[in-house]
Amino acid sequence: MTKEPKQPSSPACLAHEADDAYMGFATEAEISSFLKALAEAERAGRPRADMLRHMLPKVRDDRLHAELSAKLKAEESTKSTT
């Protein structure tokens, strides 16, 4: 008598195929809007740290995340020296 292999109780995880927005990341439209608002705040001399802290966890692109992290670090270092 041969045993049949156990079938998995649930399908394989397909999360890697899900849309970024479904996974909690910002959409391209949200990122574009954010970058415009960030540039406007920069031109107006308004603080941007809160904006950056809010958006960073939602950015999936490594290059953009690093760029925004650097902006946040610069913003925080400027704030701490004033």
Q: Is the pTM higher than 0.85?
A: no
Residue 14 in tokens: 């397909």
pLDDT higher than threshold 70 for residue 11: no
Structure tokens at 73: 């670090």
pLDDT one-digit tens code per residue, 29-67: 999 999 999 999 999 999 999 999 999 999 999 999 999
Tell me the one-letter amino acid at 58.
Answer: K
Q: What would the mean pLDDT of 60-76 be, rounded to a whole number?
A: 95
The percent of residues in the chain predicted with pLDDT above 70, rounded, is 77
